[in-house]
Amino acid sequence: MGVPVPNVGAELASVPFGKMIFDMASAIAKSQTALDVASIKLVQVLANTTFDYVPDVVETLTPEPRQVQVLVDGVPTGLKDAHNNPVIVTGVHVDCDVAPSFPLTLLQAGVNPTFYQFTNSTIVVKMSVTSTTDTSATVGVTTDFSQKQDFFFSSGSVTSHVNASFSNKFSYSVEGSSSLSTTLACVPPPKAIMPRFILVNAMNPASVSISQT
C-alpha cells in the first residue's frame, strides 16, 4: 500500500478566500454607513447647540506711577533716595472692557464634525502542512541443532527460524491561521453637508461687504 502524498495545492484551494473577502467587505460597508450616520447626526447637534460667545475683550494699559514701599519696623513706608526724594516707579493700570455676549452655535464657532473612511484592508492567510513517515523493520533468526548417534550410525539436523516484522506509520496535519486588518483615516467633512457661512460686514455703513466661506 503506497504512502499518501499531501496535496498542498488542494489544501490552499480549500481556503475560502472569496467568502473571507466578501465578509470583510460587508463588515466594512456596514461600519462605514454607521460612521457616516453618526457624523451627520453630529453636524445636527453642533448646529443646534449654542453657547454665550464673547466677541472681544479689550484691555487698556495706562501708566500709574507709585512710590516704592518698604517695611520700617513692620510699617510700610515710602522709600526715599539719598536726597530725600521719593523713589517712583512707573506702575501700570489695566482697564478691562468685556463686550456683551450673544448666542453662537458650536458649528459657527468652528467645531467641525469628524468623518472617517476606511482606506485599505488586508487579509493574511498562513498555512502549515506537515507530513511524517516512519518505517521500521525487524528480522529475527534462530537456529536449532540436534544430533543422534547409535553404535554404528550417527545423524544430525539443523533447523532455522526467521521472524520478520514491518511497520509503516504516516501522519499528516494541516494548520492554518488568518488575520484581517483595516486602516481607518480621518477625512474632511463633505462640502455639501456643511452649511454656508455668509458674513455681512456693516461696520462702515458707507461700504458694506459680504463674504462667504
**Model pLDDT for residues 123-134, shown as the tens digit of each residue:** 787 777 777 777
Confidence (pLDDT) at 209: 81
Decide if pLDDT at 84 tops 80: yes
Could you tell me the three cell numbers for 205? 455703513
The neighbour count for residue 115, using CB atoms within 10 Å, is: 19
Q: Is the pLDDT of residue 4 over 60?
A: no
Interval 176-184 mean pLDDT: 78
CA separation for the pair 43, 194 (Å, rounded): 8
CA dihedral 69, 74, 80, 81 (to 10 degrees): -110
pLDDT in tens, 102-131: 998 988 888 888 888 888 888 787 777 777
pLDDT confidence band for 45 (50 / 70 / 90): very high
Residue 38's pLDDT band (cuts 50, 70, 90) = very high
pLDDT over threshold 70, residue 177: yes
